[in-house]
């Protein structure tokens, strides 16, 4: 490294120093952020999400009130739904599956409750009802409680980001009647405007009470597999391509270290090996000659020629 | 009928939302703006590339480009390392190059203690190094005494070379006459060879052959020629 540093020019040195400072300062700040910082966030509608559009505060509020809350990390069609309890589906990223809808229908038939929230949640509600609720991305920001379920609440505050145009036979729980925001039928509750239950609004008006009423007395299960959460955690949850990329980077780093590191084994000779001294060659040749028989004398050759001539 | 006190629920929600995990605890990010700008510029470049690599043909072309770039980079690194290694080898050899005067002094010292064979060998080596420096003979690793005799057209050189061969390789004990002949005839050989070189020019193999000359003079393992 010292040799390299000594060989490079001043411009390269300056660039290297600047890059090193940028990377170093950012690593330091990232480490500081990891230790003392926090950044609320998470998928929209997830009970893990602490950002403005998450519902983690809803889950924590229920826990604070002694309600058993469980995130479901298996798909609804495979999960064990809380018998007699409430299943909450808030703006799921995944479309409903036949297995999931069948599980929710069985849950409703067994006396349980299903709360479907938002545009994507209304798809689940419509499928369970067998009729499209006509979700639309507009509505009142101050829905008026109308049914018995929400009696006693009179200050709901949302962003007016959803309502049902065709509630059909469903009971309007929070109006206006022409475009209700909360409807119910049996154990199924549908909320068109998810902002009523988001973290950003939960402490506004009577929204917290709405959240508590919708959840019921529990236990409550929030559907999380439909937000991308799975049952695997830790390293097992890392996607395969990312694992392959990390393994490749590690291998590249190892090869790089190997190439710049000290080589193992005997030291390399500075010069090529030279032939042995001429004296050794002469000795070897002399030894070889000493092992050979004496060459024939001229008399031997003449006698042999005479013999052949006869 | 809702059996929930809205005020109580609201207060509980406030306490929940006042928790640490709902609050952003930002640390200073003095380079955030710069890095974001750099990231956006990189994205401007990388997005079309990523789009192009999304197609099979683009992927093949991209992999080919990576392979070519990697090959060129490796070749450049290998050439650079080779050049550096050669420079370092030359530097090492120069550091170990022989000084004819020093060889002469060593020869005199050997003669003083009666080691005549060493004296003969060292004087011959000093003479050959001087011949090389004068350009009278090529500096070659494979130089042999016989080849030198063919190169140096000075009558006094052949007896010196023969004596050297007999002492160094033939095992003949060196005599005071050998030492005296070397001391007497080497200046004569050098003067004649240098004069001849001044007329004909340096030997063509000598030009740019500093490394080999030094190798001949410095390597004591060289037993097949003048370095023995």
- Range scoring the smallest mean pLDDT among A53-67, A288-302, B40-54: A288-302
pTM of model > 0.80: no
Q: At A277, is the pLDDT very low, low, confident or very high (cuts 50, 70, 90)?
A: confident
d(C-alpha A108, C-alpha A111), whole Å? 5
3-state secondary structure of A156: coil
Q: What number is the average pLDDT over the span A149-170? A: 92
Q: What angle do CA B96, B97, B101 make, to 5 degrees?
A: 120
| Residue B182, CA atoms < 13 Å, CB-side half-sphere | 27
ipTM of the prediction: 0.71
- Range scoring the smallest mean pLDDT among A102-106, A140-144, A276-280, B111-115: A276-280
Q: Which two tokens stand for residue A8?
A: 């490079």
A151 and B1 within 8 Å at the Cβ level: the answer is yes
Chain B CB contacts of A55 below 8 Å: none
Predicted confidence at residue A44, as pLDDT, reads 93
d(C-alpha B116, C-alpha B107), whole Å? 8
d(C-alpha A50, C-alpha A270), whole Å? 66
Q: Which two tokens stand for residue A293?
A: 């028989």
Predicted confidence at residue B226, as pLDDT, reads 53
Nearest-CB residue to B9 (from A209, A275, A278): A209
Q: Which two tokens stand for residue A37?
A: 């910082």
Predicted confidence at residue A190, as pLDDT, reads 96
d(C-alpha A155, C-alpha B9), whole Å? 13
d(C-alpha B174, C-alpha B31), whole Å? 82
pLDDT tens sequence for chain B (228 residues)? 457 899 999 999 999 999 988 888 766 777 778 888 988 999 898 888 888 888 888 889 889 999 999 999 999 999 998 888 888 876 766 556 678 888 899 999 999 999 999 999 999 989 988 888 888 887 665 678 888 888 888 889 999 999 999 998 888 899 999 999 999 999 999 999 888 877 776 655 544 444 444 434 433 333 345 554
Q: What is the DSSP letter of A144?
A: E
d(C-alpha B115, C-alpha B48), whole Å? 82
Q: Closest approach of chain B CAs to the CA of A99, in angstroms?
A: 33
**Backbone phi, then psi, for A72, in 5-degree steps?**
-95, 110
DSSP β-bridge partners for residue A9: none
Enumerate residues 33 to 62 of chain B having a beta carbon within 8 A of any beta carbon in chain A. 35
For A9-18, the pLDDT digits (tens) are 888 888 989 8
- Contact by Cβ (8 Å): A187, A112: yes
Predicted confidence at residue B214, as pLDDT, reads 41
Q: Distances from the Cα of B99 to the Cαs of A12, B107, B218, in angstroms?
A: 41, 12, 10
- Contact by Cβ (8 Å): A215, A67: yes
Q: Is the pLDDT of residue A108 over 90?
A: yes
Q: What is the CA radius of gyration of chain B?
A: 39
- Contact by Cβ (8 Å): A183, A133: yes
d(C-alpha A227, C-alpha A48), whole Å? 10
Q: Does B2 touch chain A (CB under 8 A)?
A: yes
Nearest-CB residue to A212 (from B4, B171, B222): B4
């Amino acid at each position: 490294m010292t040799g390299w540093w000594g060989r490079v020019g001043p411009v390269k040195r300056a660039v290297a120093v600047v890059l090193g400072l940028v990377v170093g300062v950012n690593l330091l700040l990232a480490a500081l952020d990891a230790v003392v910082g926090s950044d609320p966030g998470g998928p929209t509608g997830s009970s893990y999400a602490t950002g403005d559009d998450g519902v983690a505060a809803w889950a924590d509020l229920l826990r604070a009130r002694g309600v058993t809350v469980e995130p479901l990390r298996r798909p609804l069609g495979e999960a064990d739904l809380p018998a007699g309890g409430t299943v909450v589906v808030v703006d799921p990223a995944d479309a409903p599956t036949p297995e999931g809808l069948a599980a929710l229908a069985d849950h409703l038939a067994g006396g349980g409750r299903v709360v479907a929230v938002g545009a994507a949640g209304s798809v689940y509600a419509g499928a369970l009802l067998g009729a499209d609720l006509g979700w639309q991305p507009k509505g009142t920001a101050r829905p008026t409680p109308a049914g018995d379920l929400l009696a006693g609440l009179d200050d709901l505050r949302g962003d007016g980001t959803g309502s049902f145009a065709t509630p059909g036979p469903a009971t309007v729980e929070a109006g206006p009647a022409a475009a209700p925001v909360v409807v119910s039928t049996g154990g199924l509750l549908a909320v068109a405007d998810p902002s009523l239950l988001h973290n950003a609004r939960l402490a506004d008006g009577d929204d917290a009470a709405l959240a508590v009423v919708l959840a019921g007395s529990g236990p409550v299960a929030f559907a999380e597999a439909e937000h991308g959460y799975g049952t695997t955690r830790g390293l097992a949850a890392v996607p395969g391509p990312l694992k392959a990329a990390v393994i490749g980077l590690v291998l590249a780093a190892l090869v790089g270290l190997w190439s710049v590191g000290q080589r193992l084994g005997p030291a390399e000779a500075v010069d090529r090996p030279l032939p042995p001294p001429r004296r050794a060659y002469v000795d070897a040749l002399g030894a070889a000659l000493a092992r050979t028989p004496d060459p024939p004398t001229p008399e031997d050759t003449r006698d042999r020629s005479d013999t052949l001539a006869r | 009928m809702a059996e929930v006190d809205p005020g109580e629920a609201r207060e509980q929600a406030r306490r929940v939302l006042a928790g640490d995990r709902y609050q952003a605890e930002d640390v200073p990010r003095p380079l955030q703006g710069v890095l974001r700008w750099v990231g956006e510029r990189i994205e401007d470049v990388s997005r079309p590339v990523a789009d192009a690599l999304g197609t099979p043909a683009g992927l093949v072309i991209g992999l080919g480009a990576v392979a070519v770039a990697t090959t060129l980079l490796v070749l450049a690194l290998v050439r650079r390392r080779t050049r550096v290694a050669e420079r370092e080898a030359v530097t090492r050899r120069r550091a170990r190059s022989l000084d004819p005067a020093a060889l002469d002094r060593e020869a005199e010292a050997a003669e003083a203690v009666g080691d005549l064979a060493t004296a003969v060998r060292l004087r011959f080596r000093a003479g050959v190094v001087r011949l090389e420096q004068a350009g009278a003979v090529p500096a070659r690793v494979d130089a042999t005494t016989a080849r030198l005799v063919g190169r140096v057209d000075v009558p006094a050189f052949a007896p010196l070379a023969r004596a050297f061969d007999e002492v160094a390789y033939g095992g003949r004990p060196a005599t005071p006459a050998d030492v005296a002949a070397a001391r007497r005839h080497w200046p004569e050989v050098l003067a004649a060879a240098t004069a001849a070189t001044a007329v004909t020019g340096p030997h063509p193999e000598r030009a740019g052959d500093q490394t080999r000359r030094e190798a001949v003079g410095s390597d004591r393992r060289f037993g097949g020629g003048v370095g023995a």
